[in-house]
Amino acid sequence: MINLFSYSTINKHKNTIKQINNSYKNIKDYPDLLLANQTKKIRNMIKTSGIKNKTILIEAFATLKEAIFRATNLELFDVQLLGGITLNDGNIAEMKTGEGKTLVALLPAYLNSLLNEGVHIITVNDYLAERDATLAKRIFSYLNIEIGLITQKTTRKERKEAYKYNITYITNSELGFDYLKDNMAIHQDDIIQQGFFYAIIDEVDSILIDEARTPLIISGNTKVQTNFYQNSEEVSKILQKNIDYSIDEKSKSIILTAQGISRCEAILKIDNLYDIQNPWIKYIINSLKAKELFLKNRDYIIKDEQITIVDEFTGRVMTGRRWSDGLHQAIEAKENIKIEAENKTLASITYQNLFLLYKKLSGMTGTAKTEEEEFNNIYKMKVVSIPTNQKCLRKDMPDLVYKNEYIKWKSIAHECLDMYKTGRPTLIGTTSISKSELLSKMLQELSIPHNLLNAKPENIAQESKIILEAGRKNTITIATNMAGRGTDIILGGSTEKIVEEEIKQYIKNSDNIKTNSNDEEVYSMIKKIKLQTKNDRNNIIKDENFLALQRTYTNLKEKYKKLCKSEKDYISQIGGLYVIGTERHESRRIDNQLRGRSGRQGDKGTSRFFLSLQDNLFRIFGGNKIENIVQSLNIENDTPIESIILTKSLDAAQKKVESYFYDIRKQLFEYDEVINNQRKAIYKERKKILTHVFTRDCVIEYGEQTIKEMLDIYLKDKRKEQTLKKVIKLLNIKANTTHLAEMSSLELRHYLNEQLRISYDLKEIYLEQLRPGLIRQLEKYYLLQQIDQGWQEHIEKMGLLKEYIGWRSYGQQDPLIEYKNEAFNLFINMITYIRQTVIYLVMRSRLII
Ligand code: ADP
């Protein structure tokens, strides 16, 4: 559906689009060299009149449109230009599947890269990053713009280079981990990122919404607190359900009652269960979870004396995986098995805060409008719906609702059978791997051939191949929700890909062609054929065997072009791709994603959801209302219900779920904002030290600050001598306290500052004599080490604080305010502690030879 807003946006930019197209017509005649020169020309234009100038956007977009045409033979549509303008404005372009978002991203990427600060294009997986970077490289080779690519395989050295390129393709998780690692670097040279200037996020809803609930974490091992686990386990056995604690099924959590809290404190003989310095509560909650929510032979099994997780969807045993935050250890205690070391968070960040580091942010996806409020509130990005290039012909049929799940799945299987008989390609989306496997079994029983796809990372490349096939005649594809995202379903199949496959086989089987059949060589040969077929002047090859191969290629292409076309015509006649949803998802956005698989670029298509009243969404969020409606309709068991009132109630239930999850994300964001500001401050200080040559200044500053703080305490405490002694000891100086006690506060401060410097000079001279340059290394080492250690301990305390605040202030004052106050105190304590320890260590450093 195109809303009024998008029309007004188009009108607003109509003129600009017209000008881009006019300019494009002029550029068309440019020889390659002159086209490449555009980059230099536009860079100069930016220097004189700034990047916001409209003429510059017009010139850059037109130039890129021509580069795309030369590299791919595709001519950008006006709606794609509109998408590019939206992204350049720092907003979200909602463009349906198949509208060509990959190319759209290149428009603002080109323009912004001309500022030489680096543009990042973020994708959800390595496969897409690689695929899109390859295409971008081809296009940008016409414009002298360098493209970087970072995947899991890229080494740190290569990454550093890749970040320096004009445009860099990278996944969200690689970007995040690089950021965290950079902020743990010990040497300046180890820092690889160049800053956060402009990012274009592909599948933006998936990254900023679906993945926003779990932060990225870098962790290391810690010591095992065996006693804590064992004692908590004992306590959990004593505590009684519904008296000392209750269980919240919706969020899978345990809540202690006031009585439960007192009971724990009494048994453990402690004053405060929520004491940050003595963190019992975390262990108690984990032990209760282990007791109530994690069951042997359902959630885990014991194999070789180890707790082994069983995947809840597939039932597969996940050897080597462990639950986090001490839960695994709590279960080990319950089962009386050796307790393994816990992982400790060394650094972490949420995607929300990672992406807010960018000066300018934009994103694209097929589905974002339903989450517009969230994008606007948190990221200050508007969602602009870009109209489709051709009118969307997909029919979204009303939901069919069955009374129970079994009948629902049976009906879906039969629907697949009907479709298979007519040859209509059908895609069935499922919400979990186990459900997709269940359906697959049912289809096997009905002897319906089908492809089964799930979102395992190792299958991603294979997935896109299956998705490419999913639009062919007689093809039934079962896919879990996220599988194959980013790859189009083409009705009748993609001629190019089919021919590529055929020719690959041909090359491998041919005796005349010299290759050792390795995929890369075959691929490069196909590339040569394509170039020669396009009459590329630089690539004429006259070898006989090669020419024969080229003829085979051309013939195959002719053959499959016809075949695919007639197949597409047939499929269109019978209605196009049919998409079946098997459950409403936790947001309408994800339902729309599934629907959007069908009806691309003016194709025909249909979508329909098959639901049951036993579906999770309705069971947990639906309430009695839906149940009552069904009772009042009084319908036979296996007849589906197609009722407007029911659909409305289902919509309402789904909206309830959407806002439930939005609230969770919002809360997470608000809480994370506190630690985020602290993280920024710490990382800034760290960077200052790392880049500072003369670190003595930093240490002296820490010393003076410490003196000031301790003197404040001294004066406030009516000049208690012990504080003074403490300062003297900490600074490792010699002074007479009685003498000091007689000084005014200003004198005292000056005196101690002076002593600090003198003492530091002596230390420096001493060390300098023994080993020149050592003192600077020591300073840097102590500063970084203490900051890192302090920060890691702080992260842990903040985590505990968040948990405690949640429990402690149930029904009382605003927990967020309480959290902020306490977080501030913790932070100040950490900083003070870091300063003091650094001074203490530096003043006592010696060289033992
Ligand atoms: P999306 O990410 O929006 O689903 P893609 O970027 O994957 O879409 O592109 C889908 C298909 O459309 C690709 O095969 C691409 O080559 C093709 N395409 C993109 N832009 C154009 C265009 N202007 N004209 C013709 N085909 C296009």
User: Do residues 204 and 92 touch, judged by C-beta distance below 8 A?
Assistant: yes
User: Do residues 200 and 108 touch, judged by C-beta distance below 8 A?
Assistant: yes
Query: Taking the CB of residue 8, how many other CB atoms lie within 10 A of it?
Result: 10
Out of 74, 96, 202, 468, give the residue to mutate to test ligand 1, the one with the largest number of ligand atoms within 8 Å of its CB.
Answer: 74
CATH code, 64: 3.40.50.300
Ligand 1 pocket residue status of 82, Cβ below 6 Å: no
What's residue 807's pLDDT? 60
CA distance 607 to 400: 11
**3 state SS of 543:** coil
Q: How far is the CA of 817 from the centre of ligand 1 (A)?
A: 48
Residue closest by Cα to atom 9 of ligand 1: 100
Kindly state whether residues 130 and 46 are assigned to the same domain: yes
What lies within 8 Å, CB to CB, of 760 at 6+ separation is: 696, 699, 700, 703, 842, 843
Ligand 1 pocket residue status of 439, Cβ below 6 Å: no
Kindly state whether residues 211 and 271 are assigned to the same domain: no
CA distance 422 to 254: 52
Q: How far is the CA of 598 from the centre of ligand 1 (A)?
A: 15
Q: State the angle between helix axes of 226-238 and 327-334 in degrees (0 to 180), rounded to the nearest 10.
A: 70
Query: Taking the CB of residue 758, how many other CB atoms lie within 10 A of it?
Result: 11
What's residue 2's pLDDT? 42
Kindly state whether residues 205 and 266 are assigned to the same domain: no
251: burial class by Cβ within 10 Å (0-12, 13-18, 19+)? exposed
> What DSSP state is assigned to residue 296?
B
Kindly state whether residues 598 and 474 are assigned to the same domain: yes
Kindly state whether residues 246 and 209 are assigned to the same domain: no
Asked whether residue 508 is assigned to any structural domain, the reply reads no
> ∠ at Cα 788 (787, 790), nearest 5°?
65
Out of 99, 388, 564, give the residue to mutate to test ligand 1, the one with the largest number of ligand atoms within 8 Å of its CB.
Answer: 99
> What DSSP state is assigned to residue 398?
P
Closest ligand 1 atom to residue 75 Cα is: 23
CA distance 159 to 151: 9
CA distance 132 to 123: 9
Q: How far is the CA of 463 from the centre of ligand 1 (A)?
A: 18
CA distance 837 to 504: 65
84: burial class by Cβ within 10 Å (0-12, 13-18, 19+)? buried
Ligand 1 pocket residue status of 596, Cβ below 6 Å: no
Asked whether residue 756 is assigned to any structural domain, the reply reads yes
Ligand 1 pocket residue status of 77, Cβ below 6 Å: yes
Does 102 show up as a binding residue in the annotation? yes
Asked whether residue 187 is assigned to any structural domain, the reply reads yes
CA nearest neighbour of 243 among 229, 264, 228, 269: 264
Does 100 show up as a binding residue in the annotation? yes
Closest ligand 1 atom to residue 600 Cα is: 4
Closest ligand 1 atom to residue 72 Cα is: 16
What's residue 1's pLDDT? 39
> ∠ at Cα 38 (539, 12), nearest 5°?
120
Q: How far is the CA of 137 from the centre of ligand 1 (A)?
A: 17
Bridge partner residues of 254 (DSSP): 247
What's residue 121's pLDDT? 98
Kindly state whether residues 211 and 232 are assigned to the same domain: no
Ligand 1 pocket residue status of 489, Cβ below 6 Å: no
Asked whether residue 138 is assigned to any structural domain, the reply reads yes
Kindly state whether residues 488 and 579 are assigned to the same domain: yes
User: Do residues 74 and 146 touch, judged by C-beta distance below 8 A?
Assistant: no
Asked whether residue 191 is assigned to any structural domain, the reply reads yes
Residue closest by Cα to atom 24 of ligand 1: 74
CA nearest neighbour of 845 among 781, 755, 789: 781
Q: How far is the CA of 76 from the centre of ligand 1 (A)?
A: 9
Does 488 show up as a binding residue in the annotation? yes
Kindly state whether residues 180 and 123 are assigned to the same domain: yes
Ligand 1 pocket residue status of 484, Cβ below 6 Å: no
Ligand 1 pocket residue status of 468, Cβ below 6 Å: no
**Sequence letter at residue 762:** L
Out of 205, 488, 595, give the residue to mutate to test ligand 1, the one with the largest number of ligand atoms within 8 Å of its CB.
Answer: 488
Kindly state whether residues 32 and 141 are assigned to the same domain: yes
**Sequence letter at residue 633:** L
Q: How far is the CA of 740 from the centre of ligand 1 (A)?
A: 78
Q: Which residue has the tokens 């409403």?
A: 584
Kindly state whether residues 213 and 228 are assigned to the same domain: no
User: Do residues 427 and 571 touch, judged by C-beta distance below 8 A?
Assistant: no
> What DSSP state is assigned to residue 217?
E
Q: Residue 409 sits in which domain range?
A: 393-494+570-642
Ligand 1 pocket residue status of 159, Cβ below 6 Å: no
Q: How far is the CA of 496 from the centre of ligand 1 (A)?
A: 14
Distances (CA, A) of 339 to 58, 122, 342: 64, 40, 9
User: Do residues 617 and 581 touch, judged by C-beta distance below 8 A?
Assistant: no
Residue closest by Cα to atom 5 of ligand 1: 100
Burial 230-247 (b: 16+ CB within 10 A, else e): bbbbebbeebeeeebbee
User: Do residues 513 and 494 touch, judged by C-beta distance below 8 A?
Assistant: no
Does 80 show up as a binding residue in the annotation? yes
Q: How far is the CA of 128 from the centre of ligand 1 (A)?
A: 14
CA distance 216 to 213: 10
Ligand 1 pocket residue status of 74, Cβ below 6 Å: yes
CA atoms within 13 Å, Cβ hemisphere of 71? 20
DSSP E strands in 259-378: the ranges are 300-303, 306-310, 317-318, 343-349, 360-365
Quote the pTM value.
Answer: 0.80
Asked whether residue 332 is assigned to any structural domain, the reply reads yes
> What DSSP state is assigned to residue 387?
P
CA distance 356 to 663: 19
All residue ranges of the chain with pLDDT < 70 are 1-9, 213, 223-224, 249-251, 276, 311-319, 454-461, 481-486, 512-520, 533-542, 623, 630, 634-637, 806-813, 847-849
Distances (CA, A) of 599 to 274, 396, 488, 572, 596: 56, 10, 11, 10, 7
Kindly state whether residues 103 and 165 are assigned to the same domain: yes
Total of domains in the chain: 4
Is the sign of the CA dihedral 557, 560, 564, 570 positive or negative? positive
Q: How far is the CA of 368 from the centre of ligand 1 (A)?
A: 19
Asked whether residue 160 is assigned to any structural domain, the reply reads yes
Distances (CA, A) of 40 to 47, 59, 85, 112: 11, 12, 21, 13
Q: How far is the CA of 828 from the centre of ligand 1 (A)?
A: 53
Helix (H) or strand (E) holding 611: strand 604-612
Query: Taking the CB of residue 686, how many other CB atoms lie within 10 A of it?
Result: 19
CA nearest neighbour of 196 among 381, 361, 365: 361
Does 305 show up as a binding residue in the annotation? no
Ligand 1 pocket residue status of 396, Cβ below 6 Å: no
Out of 82, 102, 204, give the residue to mutate to test ligand 1, the one with the largest number of ligand atoms within 8 Å of its CB.
Answer: 102
Ligand 1 pocket residue status of 390, Cβ below 6 Å: no
Q: How far is the CA of 549 from the centre of ligand 1 (A)?
A: 28
**Termini Cα distance of the chain:** 78
Asked whether residue 348 is assigned to any structural domain, the reply reads no
CATH code, 234: 3.90.1440.10
Q: How far is the CA of 307 from the centre of ligand 1 (A)?
A: 48
CA distance 414 to 398: 18
Kindly state whether residues 59 and 154 are assigned to the same domain: yes
